[in-house]
Structure 1
Amino acid sequence: MATQQPISILQYHQRTKHFLDHYAQGPGTLDWADQPDPFRRFEGCTRFQLPLAGQVSFPDFSLLQQGETIEAQAFSLKSLGLLMELAFGLSAWKQYGGDRWALRCNPSSGNLHPTEAYLINTAAEDLPAGLYHYLSHDHVLEKRGEWNTLPEFQGLLIGLSSIHWREAWKYGERAFRYCQHDIGHALAALSYAAAIQGWRVEILAEVSDADISGLLGLDREQDFLPKETESPDVLCRIQTGAFESASGMGSIDLADLAIDHWFGKANRLSHYHHYQWPVIDEAAQATIKPRTSEHCEPRASDHRLVLKPASQPAVDIIRQRRSAQQFDGQTPLALTEFFHLLQAVMPCSQVPFDLWPWTPKIHLFLFVHRVEGLPPGLYALPRDPERLETLKETMQDAFIWEPVDGTPEQLDLYCLLRADCRKAAKTLSCHQGIASDGAFSLAMVAEFGDELENEPWRYRRLFWESGLIGQALYLEAETFGMRGTGIGCFFDDAVHEVLGITESRFQSIYHFTVGKALEDKRLQTLPAYFHLNQAE
């Protein structure tokens, strides 16, 4: 019998597309009684309680919007607690009848939260040196490992991983895509949380997945249940300004950080695992990243937003972010606010894109429904001006590519078609009204190109970049009293047909929408950590 060839990442992407007449493979039913536990715990670890930030009035979100320099805060357990809380912690609880569920500062497809965060500390004097897992439910650090001798490296590293099973429970084979979206959102949330304290996030682009797995203990099979393992995604250094002069800003000797003593076993997330999705494991295998020589420094820019920035505390904006479930279908967005939102997702040094050292690969195609002073229609926003001609050659010949008057500098927005696109936007986004009832919706179209054949691990980065864009839209929309929602369900090739895409050179990988949200009055909202006070 011939051995079956492992799936390539391009084959995975094609296999997991939704079509107008059928959806990608997913579970036939959902066993709600066996929904994966959204909180990973390591039993048998020493726990260190992080302080909750409480009310924090400084800085205003405007300082982040304008790229202003914020004085770096001293590194301490308090500042570390603020970082983890605003990046990965709880933002609120919702309750309906006897059901209660947590919301977090980093959004997730289906609120399933496959992303796990780890911290390597060699510097904080009020936290023992070691490797920690962050448990958002209790706002604690679980000590997973320590060293016999303190490493030479001084500083703070954050590692992110994904539990693919959490997403696959609901979304089946397409879940690998959604896990990568969530990593992008988590990176952006980390960037905002760091910027509030005058810190920056640096992606350690050169490290391999094997490096991350060994460093975080993800390769310790004895510590995890077989179907609930974690896949390594990304490792970041937090630049606080306190340690960089001592340790330098070059590459880190990861061998120096190898843990000598391990603690804890991962909790069980589900009991039955009724459905199996081996193609997800194949996709993860196909996109394993090796070590590379691509160390990049963050870029500098004088980019500024044109609109009068929001004066609300940045902490409040982060905590109040929600995914809209329904829009009113009426409220328009001011043209200046629309321009502001688009300028906020352009590549520059502004948060969260200051952590992204690579050339942008994501371009936006917008279905404009209710923007004052802008005719309804289909618009294009190339995020790399050098790709404009290629996009024109790829898309429909009938598109007019007319520059929009009055756009701010560094924002090249083009009208492709003047028409009422509400019905098309709704249909393309799996018949979801949120795509047509807001002020606008958009498709994030990624450059696939030949590099995915040679370096398939870059596939994951495309989704990370789209997550950065989504998180920026989420927070910026909140400053106008509007709300956003990420849309992972769309008919891939139907979108391509509308745009005129006939080859895999460009692919739509994420949709998003912004509008005036309708609040569900049946839901009760509870403070993020009210349960900790009850325990006391």
Structure 2
Amino acid sequence: MPELRQSSIAQHYHERTKYEPQTIAFKSRGLDWAKQPVPFKEYKIGSTFDLKPYIQNQPEAFTNNPQAQWWQRLSQLLFCSYGLTARIPSMGSAVYLRAAPSAGGLYPAEVYVVSRGTSLLPPGLYNYQCRSHSLMHFWDSDVWQALQEACLWHPALESTQLAIIITAVFYRSAWRYEDRAYRRIFLDTGHLLGNIELAGNITDYRPHLIGGFVDEAVNELLYIDSLQEGAIAVLPLADMLDIQQNLPTWRTALPSATETNYPKIPDGELLKYFHQATQIQPGTAGKLNLPEVKQEKSLEDKYNFPFCQKISTVTAPVNWGEKLIDLESTILKRRSTRAYTGEDLTFDELKALLDFTYQPQNYIDQGFDISPDYFDLNLIETFIAVSGVNGLESGCYYYAPKAQELRQIRFKNFRRELHFLCLGQDLGRDAAVVLFHTADLKAAIAQYGDRVYRYLHMDAGHLGQRLNLAAIRLGLGVSGIGGFFDDLVNDVLGIPAEEAVLYVTTLGRPR
């Protein structure tokens, strides 16, 4: 029987999936390689739209062909978002790397394209087949109105002709990371959202992020088994070359219920139970809009510690080349760094990383969207452990994005502790900088219900991907870490206890 509990299911999930030094050995197990999931989806029937010709030629080749230009833009958007960028031989087969990073190379996300029906792309449902860089048209009926209904008549779907739907195939990550995989799934989705947002700047598409939708309805629309695969995000694509699609921004997140009446859930079943609990149910949409969720932008950063040293991070923007040519090449050559030299970064390099990640308004002259969609960045905080930055004292700092300054909260070199906190990974020890994204989980749930757990991790992953790309552009090493001793991070670094650690990004000189 369900019991009324003090913590919500999101808080329960977070506590249950924490890593602790005394229990992590019992939680780890050998992988069953016979049950390794395939990170690709196959369809036995359907028609294929080949997108390869449009990335094999330069855009200039299509200058006098409007139809080919349209295909080239869509092809480039999908390839820069989730295309295959490398093939690495492994154990008699191959591992395929994609434009967006994924924990363990497991790639739980699937990308679907929904067409309202254009002269070039018939109405219906398409799956992006990244191995062949093609669209598989597996359903050829008009589904746009059903998508609008499922997304509670979000205004962005009124004027757009295309939409991307991202889903997650849960077992792909759970095979390795078990119940904690839910965190990694949404961090990985955040990486993908970051790529879609940035690739839109290159291809003249503006994705409008929707996180509030009736899950069951979107899953049924895609003909997926909701126990195995679930819709995560919907992104109508506004074509910026069509003046009628130059749209304002709207609210991206809706609340779900907050469940405190749940049964004892066995290990191995927590992920699926939690996902079901965070869904927006049919017939509740009207209730969810009352009261209105306020997303007022605070003019002040959350933490202003007394007597702390404050250091400005204002700097010149990162240069991404004429027509953002260096952005595309950076997306496609990005790799997660496997080892650092332990050498220092310069303070200018750290400032540039922070500027591109958190200050999009500084990039309007280069053709970037100055206000990209997140779910709610007011909920995300950033703490930085500095081990080796020339011109900056070692210690832990709070990054205040609105004031554009670092505020020091601990004075110490934490290399040894960071090695331990990152589960003994040398990346934590040898990095010059380790950056932590956190959130006050209890306060976030009060605002958005248990569904906020999705939003928080996707926003952290989105920020993480901007950090990834800025680091690669600057010739630095970068690697995200989803496994860490949760509570000890706060204790060791002096991060306020209410801040739940969502994601860790290491930065340094690549070996």
Q: Which runs of 5+ in 2 are unaligned?
A: 61-65, 146-157, 252-265, 298-312
Structure 2 SS opposite 1:327:
coil
Of the candidates 460, 463, 482, which is equivalent to residue 454 of structure 2? 460
Is the Cα–Cα contact under 8 Å of residues 26 and 171 in structure 1 kept in the other structure? Answer: no
Aligned counterpart, 2:381: 363
Of the candidates 275, 283, 286, which is equivalent to residue 277 of structure 2? 286
Q: How far apart, CA to CA, are the structure 1 residues paired with 2:144 and 2:4? A: 45
Taking a change above 3 Å as real, the CA distance of residues 57 and 482 of structure 1, as seen in their structure-2 partners, is farther
Q: How far apart, CA to CA, are the structure 1 residues paired with 2:25 and 2:410? A: 30
Matched, 1:432 2:412: no
Q: How far apart, CA to CA, are the structure 2 residues paired with 1:11 and 1:137? A: 38
Q: How far apart, CA to CA, are the structure 2 residues paired with 1:276 and 1:77? A: 46
Q: How far apart, CA to CA, are the structure 2 residues paired with 1:186 and 1:356? A: 13
Shift in Å, 1:91: 1.1
Q: How far apart, CA to CA, are the structure 2 residues paired with 1:49 and 1:455? A: 42
Matched, 1:450 2:456: no
Q: How far apart, CA to CA, are the structure 1 residues paired with 2:359 and 2:214? A: 25
TM-score, normalised on structure 1? 0.75
Aligned counterpart, 2:78: 84
Alignment of 1:161-310 (within 5 A): 161-218=167-224, 221=225, 229-243=228-242, 245=244, 277-289=268-280, 291=285, 292-293=288-289, 306-307=316-317, 309-310=319-320
Structure 1 SS opposite 2:167:
strand
Q: How far apart, CA to CA, are the structure 2 residues paired with 1:427 and 1:149? A: 51
Deviations, residues 356-388 of structure 1 (Å, cap 9, x unaligned): 2634322121111221111222111134x5xxx
Structure 2 SS opposite 1:117:
strand
Taking a change above 3 Å as real, the CA distance of residues 297 and 50 of structure 1, as seen in their structure-2 partners, is farther
Matched, 1:159 2:165: yes
Taking a change above 3 Å as real, the CA distance of residues 138 and 476 of structure 1, as seen in their structure-2 partners, is same
Shift in Å, 1:313: 2.0
Shift in Å, 1:306: 1.4
Aligned counterpart, 1:516: 509
Q: How far apart, CA to CA, are the structure 2 residues paired with 1:179 and 1:315? A: 24
Q: How far apart, CA to CA, are the structure 2 residues paired with 1:43 and 1:210? A: 24
Name the aligned partner's letter for residue 506 of structure 2: T
Alignment of 1:322-341 (within 5 A): 322-330=335-343, 332-341=344-353
Aligned counterpart, 2:333: 320
Shift in Å, 1:463: 0.2
Shift in Å, 1:421: 1.1
Structure 2 SS opposite 1:431:
coil
Is the Cα–Cα contact under 8 Å of residues 118 and 160 in structure 1 kept in the other structure? Answer: yes
Shift in Å, 1:176: 0.6
Q: How far apart, CA to CA, are the structure 2 residues paired with 1:28 and 1:508? A: 24
Taking a change above 3 Å as real, the CA distance of residues 298 and 321 of structure 1, as seen in their structure-2 partners, is farther
Q: How far apart, CA to CA, are the structure 1 residues paired with 2:389 and 2:349? A: 9
Of the candidates 375, 378, 382, which is equivalent to residue 396 of structure 2? 378
Aligned counterpart, 1:20: 21
Is the Cα–Cα contact under 8 Å of residues 124 and 143 in structure 2 kept in the other structure? Answer: no
Q: Which runs of 5+ in 1 are unaligned?
A: 59-71, 253-274, 386-409, 519-536
Deviations, residues 39-58 of structure 1 (Å, cap 9, x unaligned): 11122222221134137599
Q: How far apart, CA to CA, are the structure 2 residues paired with 1:53 and 1:9? A: 42
Is the Cα–Cα contact under 8 Å of residues 114 and 144 in structure 2 kept in the other structure? Answer: no
Q: How far apart, CA to CA, are the structure 2 residues paired with 1:25 and 1:285? A: 27
Q: How far apart, CA to CA, are the structure 2 residues paired with 1:455 and 1:236? A: 22
Structure 2 SS opposite 1:328:
coil
Q: How far apart, CA to CA, are the structure 1 residues paired with 2:143 and 2:209? A: 26
Name the aligned partner's letter for residue 48 of structure 1: F
Of the candidates 109, 112, 124, which is equivalent to residue 115 of structure 1? 109
Alignment of 1:489-528 (within 5 A): 489-500=483-494, 503=497, 505-518=498-511
Taking a change above 3 Å as real, the CA distance of residues 287 and 373 of structure 1, as seen in their structure-2 partners, is same
Aligned counterpart, 1:391: none
Aligned counterpart, 1:43: 44
Q: How far apart, CA to CA, are the structure 2 residues paired with 1:304 and 1:239? A: 32
Aligned counterpart, 1:62: none
Q: Is the helix fraction higher in 1 or 2?
A: 2
Larger mean CA deviation between 474-483 and 241-250 belongs to 241-250
Name the aligned partner's letter for residue 286 of structure 1: A
Aligned counterpart, 1:419: 412
Q: How far apart, CA to CA, are the structure 2 residues paired with 1:103 and 1:295? A: 38
Deviations, residues 409-455 of structure 1 (Å, cap 9, x unaligned): x4121122232211111111111110121221122111213341561
Shift in Å, 1:82: 0.7
Shift in Å, 1:348: 4.2
Q: How far apart, CA to CA, are the structure 1 residues paired with 2:275 and 2:88? A: 33
Is the Cα–Cα contact under 8 Å of residues 153 and 247 in structure 1 kept in the other structure? Answer: no
Q: How far apart, CA to CA, are the structure 1 residues paired with 2:35 and 2:9? A: 31
Q: How far apart, CA to CA, are the structure 1 residues paired with 2:200 and 2:509? A: 29
Name the aligned partner's letter for residue 168 of structure 2: S
Q: How far apart, CA to CA, are the structure 2 residues paired with 1:416 and 1:232? A: 40
Is the Cα–Cα contact under 8 Å of residues 199 and 241 in structure 1 kept in the other structure? Answer: yes
Q: How far apart, CA to CA, are the structure 1 residues paired with 2:314 and 2:239? A: 23
Aligned counterpart, 1:523: none
Q: How far apart, CA to CA, are the structure 2 residues paired with 1:247 and 1:322? A: 34
Name the aligned partner's letter for residue 355 of structure 2: Q
TM-score, normalised on structure 2? 0.79
Shift in Å, 1:160: 0.6
Shift in Å, 1:333: 1.5
